[in-house]
Amino acid sequence: MLLFLRRRTLTSLLPLLFVLIGVFVLARLTGNPTSLYLPESATPEQRHVFAATHGFNNPIWQQLLDYLKGIPHLDFGTSLRTGETAASMALRAFPNTLQLAVATMVLSIVIAVVLGSWAAYRPNSLADGISSVLSMTAGSVPDFWFAIMGVWIFAVILGVLPTSGVDNGLLSWVLPVATLAVRPVGVLTQVVRGAMVSALSAPYVRLARSKGATDVRLVTHHALRNAAAPALTVAGDLAVGLVNGAVVVETIFGWPGIGKLMIDSIVGRDFAVLQACVLLTALSIFVLNILIDLGYALLDARVRETVKA
């Protein structure tokens, strides 16, 4: 397993470096932040001092080299907007995004397993119809539409949920989590249903049924374990998408996570904070992919044999 982790880490370093350099270059194509933070009446000397203080007057290759050299020490520079270190701002926002993603995935998996198992056990039933409607809705309607509809119905018309922020306890979580969960629930329900249909028709399940196993035991002790492997793979991809998709939801609901901080940094040309956010997001996706591969290896003996080879 250590060999697997080493291989996985080495193969991920090059894409990670490509992303960091790409974001670094693209951020600077948005323009010089000097014109954004200094008044039009600023003298050339004032502009020169500002650029020199933040390193903007250095060649871009020198700025990139300084940025890469600071990564091992978590030194990304200071924010142009707040004067705080970029690392502290990113690390403060990241837990909020992580909590949002974890809550969404837990809710999505629970609902998908229940609906998918029910639909597979009773084809053409009400649950089967609900799962089909959910999957089609999730695939055709963008997240921001659900967010806007949620705010309009539950916050504006009914007035039972807050429109944004995190100051209302659990109520603040309802709309962001529900919006993010629509797509994972729809996709996962279909995956679980398909895997469960295959598992429930397997010979070992028929044998267990002939021995008198109850319906609940057939699903939970025999079929669900084998159906978990494909569902885990899809859940991992969806979780990676959640980290990226949280940018839109956090912006709409004013959620103080890494996605909102990233958007604010782009608008404010706050390069140091943007680079810290991108690095933290890329690393989290990298770790998440490794955890998914490890989980898949634990569930499937064929994967374990491949890893050993």
Instruction: Return the pLDDT at 303.
Output: 61
Q: Which two tokens stand for residue 199?
A: 């598992």
The whole-angstrom distance between residue 8's C-alpha and the CA centroid of its chain comes to: 20
Instruction: Return the pLDDT at 302.
Output: 63
Bridge partners of 85, per DSSP, are 78
Bridge partners of 165, per DSSP, are none
pTM (predicted TM-score): 0.77
Note the pLDDT tens digit of each residue in 64-116. 898 888 888 888 888 988 889 999 999 999 888 888 888 988 898 888 888 88
| AA identity, residue 30 | T
Counting residues of the chain whose pLDDT is more than 90, the rounded percentage is 5
**Is the predicted pLDDT of residue 192 greater than 60, yes or no?**
yes
Counting residues of the chain whose pLDDT is more than 70, the rounded percentage is 91
Note the pLDDT tens digit of each residue in 182-191. 888 888 888 8
Coil, strand or helix at 188: helix
Show Cβ contacts of residue 165 under 8 Å, excluding neighbours closer than 6 positions. Answer: 172, 253, 254, 255
- From 9-23, 84-98, 175-189, 254-268, the region with the lowest mean pLDDT: 9-23
In angstroms, rounded to a whole number, what is the distance separating the alpha carbons of residues 290 and 89? 26
- Annotate 274-296 with b (16+ C-beta within 10 A) or e (fewer): bbbbbbbbbebbbebbeebbbbb
Mean pLDDT, range 265-282, rounded to an integer: 88
**Is the predicted pLDDT of residue 307 greater than 60, yes or no?**
no
Mean pLDDT, range 43-67, rounded to an integer: 85
Q: Which two tokens stand for residue 306?
A: 């491949």
Instruction: Return the pLDDT at 232.
Output: 72
